[in-house]
């Protein structure tokens, strides 16, 4: 019975054991599946975070981008792409050590990815370690022909470390890859010149000319190099040889002019100069520059002026739409003391190119000096403020023109803008603006503001004529601070005893002080000096004479004032009643 039981037990165990092992295996598979599922879930989450980071990278929101890449890094710390993106942002923020750390992890994850290596090279460059950066680029270039495009960067790194021979080797390799191109040849020329190897530099120039037949720019570049190294004969031979093949190249004729002039062969020089200027293909700016060089460097003689006259005619004929041509003609007219003609040329220049601040300022200044119509002046000040809204001097000019046109509110706006933009940088400009603002405020019946502006000017510049005159006159009109007004007007007539405007102001201040005898003396002198007295001067003289008891002469001068500018509203009443009215 026991044997049967044991046998039965063994049989039972035999049946159960496979089931137990089956249960264990199934359990292990379940655990493995759970682990894989968890890993996949984390990778999916990391991918979503990476995409979110990329989105913010595209929006240039690098702080948010880094936040998402960092979260992705927590889930997949060995990811090459994630580490690369983190390194890229850190490098942008100049956190180079951290950038290198993540960059190296990216390379460990994918050592064949050239962009990871390029980022490390960039970081080394930022750290001022160009040799390390060069090693990386050199390795990349040696690894694959597809990386030859980085040869120029390698050459640049060698140059920055003064490794000229290695730089030349790199540039030679680049030339094999790209062919003979300007960027490479010019860089090689610079290296050769640093090494005092002029012959090698010349050969590079000759290679460029040979590779680009008919392009005068490369001929001129080599000619300039020869000229600067005292090889004028060689330079001239090269220019003449090029002119035999390409006789219609005006730049070559201009180079020949310079070289022949250097050799004092003036007849040949002028022949080439005229040929160059006769060509419409020679830019007006180049003609103007050459014309200006002659004005500045050649002595003023009859021959020089005759030459300039001829060149000027050619410039206008062949480059009629070139603003620099008319600008330089204006400069010549100014040098010859011909401001009216200069203004005409400058205006033609502005008509072609209103974006020249220097010429605009010249036009406006000359128009003020020549007493041009203020409406015409305003046209140019408006152009100036539109083209150069940040230049305070143009707002000053605009405010001054508008004040003269009695556009007082607009004048106040422009003058205030000038002050705000200047911010005290140009003290003289501030003084002029404040003086004009004082006049503007007075016209707007803002007398306290006007007097405050005048006081600010006189604190810094107590002899300012414009302010002394207007301040004194406006105080006298208000019958306010007459002692102060008299002090200011007295200063002016002592300094300028023959200035009719200042004599008129002083006379009126004396009149308001009831000093009629002296008022008459100064006003009579003003009238004697002034060829065409204003209406206000004539009326004032009549007022003074009336207070001195000379009614007949007073009425006579009031009548002379009729029809003239700036007379009072009561002038007709004075004449009719033969009586003074304020």
Report d(CA 558, CA 50) in Å as an integer.
92
Q: Which residues touch 260 (CB under 8 Å, ≥6 apart)? A: 236, 266, 268, 269, 272
- The SS3 of residue 265 is coil
CA separation for the pair 280, 196 (Å, rounded): 39
pLDDT of residue 180: 84
Q: Residue 148 and residue 134: Cα distance in Å, rounded? A: 14
Q: How far apart are CA 184 and CA 170, in angstroms?
A: 10
Q: How many CA atoms lie within 13 A of 188 on its CB side?
A: 25
Half-sphere exposure of 58 (CA within 13 A, CB side): 6
- How far separated are the first and last CA of the chain, in Å rounded? 154
Q: In 51-103, where do the E strands start and end?
A: none
**pLDDT at res. 38:** 60
Torsion of CA 362, 368, 369, 372, to 10 degrees: 110
**pLDDT attached to residue 53:** 80
- State which residues of the chain have pLDDT below 70: 1-39, 42, 134, 137, 140, 145-149, 151-152
Query: Following DSSP, what letter does each residue of 402-458 receive, concatenated?
Result: HHHTT-HHHHHHHHHHHHHHHTTSSHHHHHHHHHHHHHHHHHTT-HHHHHHHHHHHH
Q: What are phi and psi of 336, to 5 degrees?
A: -90, 15
Selection from 124, 126, 150 nearest residue 137 by Cα: 150
What is the Cα–Cα distance from 103 to 119, expressed in whole angstroms?
A: 7
Report how many helices (DSSP H) and strands (DSSP E) the chain contains, helices first: 31, 0
**From CA 54, how far away is CA 448, in angstroms rounded?**
63
pLDDT of 382: 98
Whether residue 324 contacts residue 290, with contact meaning beta carbons closer than 8 Å, is answered with no
Domain ranges of the chain: 223-282
pLDDT for the residue 2: 39
Nearest to 343 by CA among 326, 355, 356: 326
* Amino acid 117: pLDDT: 74
Query: b or e along 269-306 (b: 16 or more beta carbons within 10 Å of the residue's beta carbon)?
Result: bbebbebbbebeebbbebbbebbeeeeeeeeeeeeeee
What integer pLDDT is reported at residue 23 of this predicted model?
45
């Amino acid at each position: 019975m026991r044997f049967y039981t044991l046998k039965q037990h063994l049989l039972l165990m035999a049946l159960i054991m496979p089931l137990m092992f089956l249960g264990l295996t199934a359990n292990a598979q379940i655990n493995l599946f759970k682990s894989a599922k968890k890993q996949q879930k984390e990778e999916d989450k990391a991918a979503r975070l990476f995409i979110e980071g990329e989105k913010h990278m595209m929006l240039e929101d690098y702080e948010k981008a880094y936040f998402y890449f960092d979260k992705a890094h927590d889930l997949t710390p060995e990811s090459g792409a994630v580490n690369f993106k983190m390194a890229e942002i850190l490098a942008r923020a100049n956190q180079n050590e951290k950038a290198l750390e993540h960059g190296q992890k990216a390379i460990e994850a994918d050592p064949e990815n050239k962009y990871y290596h390029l980022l490390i090279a960039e970081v080394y460059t930022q750290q001022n370690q160009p040799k390390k950066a060069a090693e990386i680029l050199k390795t990349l270039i040696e690894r694959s022909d597809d990386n030859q495009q980085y040869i120029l960067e390698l050459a640049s790194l060698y140059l920055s470390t003064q490794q000229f021979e290695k730089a030349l080797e790199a540039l030679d390799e680049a030339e094999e890859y790209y062919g003979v191109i300007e960027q490479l040849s010019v860089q090689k020329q610079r290296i050769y010149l640093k090494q005092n190897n002029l012959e090698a530099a010349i050969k590079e120039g000759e290679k460029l000319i040979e590779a680009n037949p008919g392009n005068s720019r490369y001929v001129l570049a080599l000619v300039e190099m020869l000229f600067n190294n005292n090889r004028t004969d060689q330079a001239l031979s090269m220019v003449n040889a090029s002119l035999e093949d390409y006789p219609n190249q005006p730049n070559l004729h201009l180079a020949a002019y310079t070289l022949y002039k250097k050799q004092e062969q003036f007849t040949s020089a002028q022949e080439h100069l005229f040929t160059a200027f006769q060509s419409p293909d020679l830019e007006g700016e180049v003609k103007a520059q050459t014309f200006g060089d002659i004005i500045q460097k050649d002595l003023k003689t009859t021959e020089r002026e005759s030459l300039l006259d001829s060149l000027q005619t050619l410039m206008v004929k062949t480059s009629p739409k070139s603003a620099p041509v008319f600008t330089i003609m204006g400069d010549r007219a100014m040098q010859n003391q011909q401001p009216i003609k200069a203004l005409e040329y400058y205006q033609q220049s502005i008509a072609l190119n209103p974006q020249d601040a220097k010429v605009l300022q010249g036009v406006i200044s000359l128009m003020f000096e020549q007493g041009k119509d203020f409406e015409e002046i305003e046209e140019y000040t408006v152009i100036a403020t539109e083209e150069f809204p940040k230049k305070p001097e143009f707002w000053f000019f605009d405010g001054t023109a508008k004040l003269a046109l009695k556009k007082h509110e607009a004048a106040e706006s422009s003058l205030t803008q000038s002050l705000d933009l200047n911010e005290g940088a140009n003290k003289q400009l501030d003084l002029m603006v404040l003086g004009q603002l004082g006049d503007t405020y007075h016209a707007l019946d803002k007398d306290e503001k006007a007097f405050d502006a005048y006081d600010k000017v006189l604190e810094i510049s107590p002899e300012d004529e414009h302010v002394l005159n207007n301040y004194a006159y406006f105080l006298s009109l208000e019958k306010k601070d007459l002692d102060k007004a008299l002090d200011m007007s007295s200063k002016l007539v002592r300094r300028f005893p023959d200035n009719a405007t200042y004599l008129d102001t002083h006379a009126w201040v004396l009149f308001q002080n009831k000093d009629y005898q002296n008022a008459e003396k100064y006003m009579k002198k003003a009238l004697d000096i002034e060829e065409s007295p204003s209406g206000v001067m004539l009326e004032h003289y009549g007022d003074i004479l009336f207070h001195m008891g000379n009614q007949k002469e007073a009425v006579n001068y009031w009548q002379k004032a009729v029809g003239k500018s700036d007379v009072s509203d009561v002038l007709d009443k004075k004449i009719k009643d033969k009586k003074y009215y304020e």
